[in-house]
Amino acid sequence: HGGRLYALELKSYRDNPAYLRALGEAAEYGRELGLDVIHLIVFVEYIGDDLRKRYESEHQDEGTGMTVRPLLIATGN
C-alpha cells in the first residue's frame, strides 16, 4: 500500500505453546520479506481483557530482530 510492503500472518489459537511458535513463525516470515514489523492475527473463541493485554503485547523476536504485533480476534459469543 502506498509503495510500502505490509504483511499479516494468520493463525488460530490452540494453546500457549502454539501461540509462542506462531510469534516465531511470524517473525521469520517478516524477516524473509525484509520487513521491520509484521502483524500476527490470531483467531480465538473468546478472550478476556486480562489475557488480551498479555497476548496482544508487542513482541521483539531475539533471533530475527523482528517486531511482531499480535491482534486477537474473538470468534465466539
29-71, pLDDT tens digit by residue? 999 999 999 999 999 999 999 999 999 999 999 999 999 999 9
Could you tell me the pTM of the whole model? 0.89
Q: What pLDDT is attached to residue 3?
A: 80
Cα–Cα distance for residue pair 77/74, rounded to 1 Å: 8
CB 5 within 8 Å of CB 43? no
